């Protein structure tokens, strides 16, 4: 059998069986399909240091002990420290398991829940008038009248203006006292339980953040807002900073906590990417 005839027979078999082979489609890299947002970066986190504020009942506050610092026998500089901290202090995340049995711990929160468009609700005026102010559904609805509906999949940030009082415990928390008795003296704004219920029932948000020590206001006894959010596996971001630098809409939030296995909370480094003009 001649070689040209072999080619003809082979081509006929391919056509008859439909086994034509196509070159694989080019695979797009993650960087090309999901580019990092362009824009100025804003750090929304307070530093952990000797001034960091904690809940009055926290037995462990921030401690940084130097293990080594200086020139070594090998002729090079070396520094290393040990640290200890409560989960819930400074800029941190409350994982759903903090107030909801069986819900997500810090290490189980999907990364997608911690990276999303940011919506900033400005309640600085009523918060300045009353340290016990609670954000309501009316605040959300007023925002939506001006800026449109809170988008599904966003992270809602409540700007009370209290970050400007950090780290003055008396002005920020309402008291500098420690211990159980000090809890009754806490005064700072938060999200009203009914407002939290409206938000999670009507808008599919990924997380809620605030620039105070708790998503519940200081005088809360039952922590109903925590329970409303976390019962639906929605984490809270607390003690945020620099929310005044964010626009009402258009910024992108990246809020990554320390990955503590089984943790009910963790220190948080939150960063916003501002929209480009």
Per-residue pLDDT tens over the stretch 261-270: 999 999 999 9
Cα–Cα distance for residue pair 170/176, rounded to 1 Å: 5
Is residue 95 within 8 A of residue 106, CB to CB? The reply is yes
- Counting residues of the chain whose pLDDT is more than 90, the rounded percentage is 86
* 275: exposed, middle or buried (Cβ count in 10 Å: 0-12, 13-18, 19+): middle
| Residue-level pLDDT at 38 | 81
For residue 99, the SS3 value is: coil
pLDDT, tens only, 234-272? 999 999 999 999 999 999 999 999 999 999 999 999 999
| Residue-level pLDDT at 34 | 61
For residue 21, the SS3 value is: coil
Q: Which among 162, 157, 171 has a CA at the least distance from the CA of 237? A: 157
Higher pLDDT, 34 or 105: 105
Please give the average per-residue pLDDT across 151-164, as a whole number.
98
**Cα atoms found within 13 Å of the Cα of residue 101, Cβ hemisphere only:** 0
Average confidence score pLDDT of the chain: 90
Residue 33 confidence class, pLDDT cut points 50, 70, 90: low
Please give the average per-residue pLDDT across 140-162, as a whole number.
98
| Residue-level pLDDT at 4 | 41
Residue 167 confidence class, pLDDT cut points 50, 70, 90: very high
- Counting residues of the chain whose pLDDT is more than 70, the rounded percentage is 87
Active site residue 98: yes
Please give the average per-residue pLDDT across 197-202, as a whole number.
97
Domains of the chain: 41-51+87-273 (3.50.30.50)
Q: Which among 206, 115, 191 has a CA at the least distance from the CA of 156? A: 206
Cα–Cα distance for residue pair 159/168, rounded to 1 Å: 18
Question: Any bridge partners for residue 84, and if so which?
Answer: 63
Cα–Cα distance for residue pair 210/243, rounded to 1 Å: 9
Q: Of 46, 88, 98, 192, which is the active-site residue?
A: 98
pLDDT exceeds cutoff 70 at 187: yes
Cα–Cα distance for residue pair 238/163, rounded to 1 Å: 11
Cα–Cα distance for residue pair 24/127, rounded to 1 Å: 59
154-175 burial: b if 16+ Cβ within 10 Å, else e = bbbbbbbbbbebbbebeebbbb
Collect all residues with Cβ–Cβ distance below 8 Å to 162 and sequence separation of at least 6: 127, 172, 188, 189, 211, 212
Stated pTM of the model: 0.86
For residue 121, the SS3 value is: strand
pLDDT, tens only, 106-129? 999 999 999 999 999 999 999 999
Question: Any bridge partners for residue 236, and if so which?
Answer: 94, 208
């Amino acid at each position: 059998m001649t070689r040209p005839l072999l080619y003809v027979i082979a081509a006929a078999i391919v056509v008859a069986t439909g086994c034509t082979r196509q070159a694989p489609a080019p695979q797009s890299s993650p960087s090309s399909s999901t580019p990092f947002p362009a824009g100025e970066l804003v750090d929304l986190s307070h530093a952990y240091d000797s001034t960091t504020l904690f809940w009055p009942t926290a037995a462990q506050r921030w401690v940084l002990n130097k293990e080594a610092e200086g020139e070594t026998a090998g002729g090079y500089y070396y520094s290393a420290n040990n640290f200890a901290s409560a989960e819930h202090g400074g800029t941190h995340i409350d994982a759903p398991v903090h107030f909801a049995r069986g819900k997500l711990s810090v290490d189980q929160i999907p990364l997608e829940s911690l990276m999303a468009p940011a919506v900033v609700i400005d309640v600085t005026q009523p918060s300045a008038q009353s340290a016990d102010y609670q954000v309501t559904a009316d605040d959300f609805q007023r925002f939506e009248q001006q800026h449109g509906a809170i988008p599904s999949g966003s992270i809602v940030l409540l700007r009370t203006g209290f970050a400007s009082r950090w780290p003055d415990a008396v002005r920020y928390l309402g008291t500098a006292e420690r211990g159980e008795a000090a809890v009754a003296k806490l005064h700072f704004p938060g999200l009203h339980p009914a407002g939290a219920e409206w938000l999670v029932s009507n808008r599919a948000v990924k997380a809620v953040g605030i620039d105070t020590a708790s998503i519940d206001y200081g005088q809360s006894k039952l922590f109903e807002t925590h329970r409303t959010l976390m019962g639906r596996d929605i984490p809270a971001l607390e003690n945020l900073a620099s929310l005044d630098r964010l626009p009402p809409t258009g910024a992108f939030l990246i809020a990554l906590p320390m990955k503590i296995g089984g943790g009910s909370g963790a220190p948080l480094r939150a960063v916003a990417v501002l929209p480009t003009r």
